[in-house]
Amino acid sequence: MNSATEVLILGSGAAGLSAALRLAENGHRVTVVSKGTLAGGSTLWAQGGISAVLDEEDSLEAHVRDTLIAGGGLCDERAVRFTVGRGPDCIRWLVEKGVAFTQEDGELRGQRLHLTREGGHSHRRVVHAADATGRAVETTLVALAAEHPNITVREQSVAVDLVIDRAARRVLGAYLMHRPSGRITAVPAKAVILATGGANQVYLYSSNPFGASGDGIAMAWRAGCRVANMEFMQFHPTCLYHGDSRSFLISEALRGEGATLHVPNADGSVGERFMPRFDERGELAPRDIVARAIDHEMKRLGVKHVWLDISHKPPEFVRAHFPSIYEHCLKLGIDITRQPIPVVPSAHFTCGGVLTDLRARTDVAGLYAAGEVACTGLHGANRLASNSLLECLAFAQAAAEDLEVELPNLPEPPPIKPWDESRVSDSDEDVVVSHNWVELRTFMWDYVGIVRTSKRLLRAQHRVDLLKREIIEFYRNYRISHHLIELRNLVTVAELIVRSALERRESRGLHYTLDFPQTDAVAKPTVLTPGR
């Protein structure tokens, strides 16, 4: 079965939905694909906010400077200026769409938006909706997309792979699997936008939903696109440590509003504050520094978590600024107005990804990438807090603007050959998939985590090679499931991360190796090319 569309958008977070709405409002037929429900991606869980220069005392230059500093010398300054410069307009667009940001400071079309400050920022410039910004953005965009006559929504659908005309190096569409039925259909399209998010489920502990399995990165790599800077995986310093809530983030905004990090005493009580020993910015240091400091203290003391304490602030202030975190922790028996919060680092953001230009174009004609799936040059060796949603919005806008020019000139895609399952059989060994899933994520956490060594990386590379052969054999011979699709993509992404980490013989930003602790004088991106 073939069902044509002008633009096929894989992913329904901030990047995918904002691109869809911009295109649909200009009369283009768009199909948006979501693995689960339309609102089920990583954007929904983003707590902190969106960085944009809206305060008179702030400046675009200051935002550029803060981003470059956090990026460890590896940012593409053109991409930084491009993204930061689009920030205020992106916020205005969201306000016009009905996103209800927290109001107070910052003049914006009659509204006064409250601006908070997060780690690495020299000014208050983070627009937010209390501590659930992603939910406010996502639910607003979902409602608009669901009602738009030019947008077709395909929920509970997983992209199996892109369809590529190899001779012309052009994308023709994609194969999609409907999860409940297992049925695979071909969807031709003039253009495809990858908005599939990051690859953080490659690690055992992650703040991301389970769908963050690197699908777009792996599909683009198989399609012939270069990827860059995959060694820079950001670990959020403060994920809630609790057996009943393993992926809940404690927003960086808490530290922006005065929360402090402490080691636990022998009796479990709150001990000394430790961040000033590691960086003069204390808890407001960039995330890589804070995450390594926590990792260091946990290993030094042999403890399973550290404490994050905001109980010295007035209870009314805490409840007003962080209602979602307060309610979530309270349900688990932690009153953050009176008690410290147990936290650990967890895999949070993929700074590298599919290499794109400032129009969100990849190496394959008609194939675009926006958001965490892409490597635009904005983040460099480390992402500045709250630049991620900004990047989603800015490059979704860039992709839509480019497609507005290109779509009239693009040919209608030819029919795609139906998916062939004639030579596969049902597997009675699904336990292999679940076992390999756990094994992959465990050795990536142990060997390719916050602190690395060459020996651990080579060990990981060997394990990846073994798993990859096993998974490919399974994929070729048995009827696929969405778990197998994700596992196939995860092992590809794991290979790219390990290869990139082995190529970088220095420590920079999020990549810290004990074998090469120095930072080279000249910063160079790690670019991997398929077939090499």
The CATH number of the domain holding residue 89 is: 3.50.50.60
Domain shared by 385 and 282, yes or no = no
207 found inside a domain: no
198 found inside a domain: no
Domain shared by 338 and 385, yes or no = no
Domain shared by 340 and 461, yes or no = no
The CATH number of the domain holding residue 483 is: 1.20.58.100
Model's pTM, two decimal places? 0.89
Domain that holds residue 111: 5-155+351-409
Question: What per-residue confidence (pLDDT) applies to 206?
Answer: 86
Q: Using one digit for the tens of pLDDT, what is the confidence trace for 425-482?
A: 776 667 788 889 999 999 998 899 999 999 999 999 999 999 999 999 888 888 888 9
204 found inside a domain: no
Question: In the structure, what pLDDT confidence band is assigned to residue 1 with cuts at 50, 70 and 90?
Answer: very low
Domain shared by 15 and 141, yes or no = yes
End-of-domain residue from the set 347, 362, 396: 347
Domain shared by 483 and 436, yes or no = yes
257 found inside a domain: yes
Question: In the structure, what pLDDT confidence band is assigned to residue 4 with cuts at 50, 70 and 90?
Answer: low
Is the per-residue pLDDT at 358 higher than 50? yes
Domain shared by 359 and 473, yes or no = no
Q: Indicate the angle between helix axes 60-70 and 77-97, nearest 10 degrees.
A: 120
Query: Which is higher by pLDDT, 39 or 401?
Result: 401
Compute the average pLDDT of residues 231-253.
88
Domain shared by 447 and 377, yes or no = no
Query: What six digits make up the tokens of 65?
Result: 């400077």
513 found inside a domain: yes
Is the per-residue pLDDT at 207 higher than 90? no
Question: What per-residue confidence (pLDDT) applies to 314?
Answer: 97
312 found inside a domain: yes
Contacts 24+ apart (CB under 8 A), 63-70: 63/87, 63/121, 63/123, 63/125, 65/122, 66/120, 66/121, 66/122, 66/384, 67/378, 67/384, 67/387, 68/380, 69/120, 69/286, 70/120, 70/286, 70/380, 70/382, 70/383, 70/384
183 found inside a domain: no
Question: In the structure, what pLDDT confidence band is assigned to residue 424 with cuts at 50, 70 and 90?
Answer: confident
Reduced to 3 states (helix: H, G, I; strand: E, B; else coil), residue 487 is helix
- In the chain, the percentage of residues whose pLDDT exceeds 90 is 77
Catalytic residues: 287
Domain shared by 399 and 473, yes or no = no
Run of H or E residues at 104: strand 103-108
The CATH number of the domain holding residue 303 is: 3.90.700.10
Query: Which is higher by pLDDT, 247 or 102?
Result: 102
Query: Which is higher by pLDDT, 515 or 114?
Result: 515
CA-wise closest residue to 171 among 365, 21, 16, 41: 365
CA-wise closest residue to 486 among 194, 158, 233: 158
End-of-domain residue from the set 293, 321, 347: 347
Radius of gyration for the alpha carbons in the chain, expressed in angstroms and rounded: 22
End-of-domain residue from the set 309, 326, 347: 347
What string of DSSP letters covers 174-232? Answer: EEEEETTT--EEEEEEEEEEE-----GGGSSSBSS-TT-S-HHHHHHHHHT--EE-TT-
Question: What per-residue confidence (pLDDT) applies to 439?
Answer: 95
Domain shared by 10 and 102, yes or no = yes
Domain shared by 339 and 358, yes or no = no
Number of structural domains the chain divides into: 3
Question: What per-residue confidence (pLDDT) applies to 269?
Answer: 94
Is the C-alpha dihedral spanning 365, 366, 367, 370 positive or negative? positive
189 residue type, one letter: A
Question: What per-residue confidence (pLDDT) applies to 487?
Answer: 95
Domain shared by 25 and 141, yes or no = yes
Is the per-residue pLDDT at 105 higher than 80? no
Distance, CA of 328 to CA of 179 (rounded, Å) = 30
414 found inside a domain: no
Domain shared by 487 and 436, yes or no = yes
